[in-house]
A = this chain, B = another copy of it.
Amino acid sequence: MSDRRTAILEAAATVIARRGVRGLRVEELAAEAGVSKALIYYHFEDRTGLLRRTLAFVNNRAERYTAEQAAAGQPATEAPAAPLRRLEQALLLELQDLPYVRENSTAWGELRASAVFDPELRGELALASVIWAREVADQLGEVRPTAPESALTASAERLTALLEGLSARWLSGILPLTDARTRMREAIGVEVAHLARLD
């Protein structure tokens, strides 16, 4: 992939985080990326195509830093609480006031909201959701190895949906970040206890 293309996608994430998907103007994007409008239409069919690619880009970037965070876990030591801590870390990663995280979360929220009215975006969205839920379900499975698979899947879907709800509230300024993080941590505890009861 060319540098320009990537630069445009990065700029798109930035502009979307600033103005929203519906507020994104190709002209502003061109200025942000430091290219001409025409080049954007050269690299991406049209506005919707650009949005689709941006969604994929944002997803990849999120996966990347999730993986990095996971790699930065415990080295050789084998603490028994490690799986639970890793799970918490993964879920709380999206509830941080860092530029990258905020940008990704905002763009993700916007693209999800846009998908309500633009079915073209749904494929990408559904895929990312499934992958994300699968990952959380796996980590739950490491915390509670004897819990049935179906219960893990359901718990993971609840936790990821809750994360999106909390994130939306945080980003729209109606819930302080610390509250969102607390609610998320509590929910993990509640779900893990629930899974324990099923054993």
B173 A122 Cβ-Cβ under 8 A: yes
CB neighbours (8 Å) of A168 from chain B are 112-113, 116, 164-165, 168
A139 close to chain B: CB less than 8 A: no
Looking across the interface, which residue of chain B has its beta carbon closest to that of A197? B193
Number of copies: 2
Question: How many angstroms between the C-alpha atoms of A172 and B116 in the bound complex?
Answer: 4
CB neighbours (8 Å) of A21 from chain B are 22
> In the complex, which of the residues A20, A129, A161, A171 has the most CB atoms of chain B within 10 Å of its own CB atom?
A161
Contact of A172 among B113, B172, B179 (CB under 8 A): B113
A174 close to chain B: CB less than 8 A: yes
Q: Which 7 A-B pairs have the closest CB atoms?
A: A165-B165, A22-B22, A161-B165, A115-B172, A164-B165, A113-B113, A126-B174
Q: Map CB proximity to B onto A108-148 as digits: 1 under 8 Å, 0 otherwise.
A: 01101111110100100110010000000000000000000
